[in-house]
């Protein structure tokens, strides 16, 4: 019913930049929180950044000042420009959204398929 499609991952050198995008589509009535999570090899998935429908944001400490989450509510899209990337940012990044559809009376959690970000020289 809802699809989240990510784009923008890739290979970049330390200090470089990437911009992730995630577009939600389907039978969407409204989207509450949208966010990005990441999972590095051998580690648990962790929250990177989230943004509410009203624009309130929250970040994991390790990315503050380097990543900036934003969203376009008209396009059901969330963005994550990432600057000054470090090798420890290497992970699969997953888009997440809390969505109410035409078929549900509540919000449900949806995930994208993930996009690889590799920071290496």
Q: Quote the pLDDT of residue 48.
A: 98
**pLDDT greater than 90 at residue 105:** no
Q: Quote the pLDDT of residue 46.
A: 98
Whether the Cβ atoms of residue 50 and residue 85 lie closer than 8 Å to each other: no
- Quickly count: other Cβ atoms within 10 Å of residue 2's Cβ: 20
- Summarised one tens digit per residue, pLDDT across range 41-87 is 999 999 999 999 999 999 999 999 999 999 999 999 999 999 999 99
Residue 40: band (very low, low, confident or very high) from pLDDT cuts 50, 70, 90: very high
Residue 76 to residues 3, 22, 30, 99, 105, Cα–Cα distance (Å): 11, 8, 9, 10, 19
């Amino acid at each position: 019913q809802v699809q989240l499609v990510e784009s923008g991952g890739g290979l970049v050198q330390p200090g470089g930049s990437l911009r992730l995008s995630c577009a939600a589509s389907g039978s969407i009535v409204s989207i509450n929180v949208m966010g990005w999570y990441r999972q590095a090899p051998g580690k648990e998935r962790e929250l990177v950044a989230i943004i509410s429908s009203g624009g309130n944001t929250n970040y994991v400490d390790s990315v503050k000042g380097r990543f900036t989450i934003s969203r376009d509510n008209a396009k059901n899209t969330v963005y994550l420009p990432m600057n000054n990337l470090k090798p420890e940012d290497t992970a699969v990044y997953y888009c997440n959204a809390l969505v109410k559809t035409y078929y549900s009376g509540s919000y449900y959690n949806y995930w994208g398929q993930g996009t690889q970000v590799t920071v290496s020289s």
